[in-house]
Amino acid sequence: MAAVTLDEVKLYLRVDYDEEDTTIAVLMEAATALIKEQAGKNKKVLSIDGEVVESRLEDLPLFQTCVKQLVAHWFERRGAQGLQQQSLPFSVDMIIDHFKLSYDYQ
């Protein structure tokens, strides 16, 4: 199951036409995979009153926001960019670092 829906991402991008649906869907898959790979985590684990509660990383609003931001970054920078290396947006880097460094994630 996708972290966010195509309609959610299109709303975030302010795209109200269907011609870019395939491109956006591919970017969503790539963003989800990259974030999970870079974070090296796949779930959030909390202890509430001694009971362990687990959530898929993709279900967390912070993860979903990160996917939307990364898709927007890539979508807005399509086409010929030259040979220069494109880095991730600072906000995306920060969220991935949060996932990597926090003990709440496994």
Mind listing the pLDDT tens digit of every residue in the chain (106 residues)? Answer: 678 999 999 999 999 999 999 999 999 999 999 999 999 998 988 877 878 889 999 999 999 999 999 999 999 988 756 545 568 899 999 999 999 999 888 8
User: What pTM was computed for the model?
Assistant: 0.87
Q: How many structural domains is the chain composed of?
A: 1
The pLDDT value given to residue 103? 84
Whether 26 is in a domain gets the answer yes
Q: What length is written for the chain?
A: 106
Whether 83 is in a domain gets the answer no
The pLDDT value given to residue 3? 84
The pLDDT value given to residue 81? 62
Instruction: Find the domain containing 67 and state its range.
Output: 6-34+43-76+88-101
The pLDDT value given to residue 67? 97
Whether 81 is in a domain gets the answer no
Residue found under tokens 């995306």: 92
Which residues are bridge partners to 54 per DSSP? 45
Give backbone dihedrals phi and psi of 14, rounded to 5 degrees, phi first.
60, 40
Whole-angstrom CA distances from 96 to 9, 21, 43, 51, 61 are 19, 26, 13, 26, 13
Whether 82 is in a domain gets the answer no
Whether 93 is in a domain gets the answer yes
Neighbour tally for 58: CB within 10 Å: 17
Q: Which of helix, strand or coil describes residue 6?
A: helix
Residue found under tokens 């491109």: 23
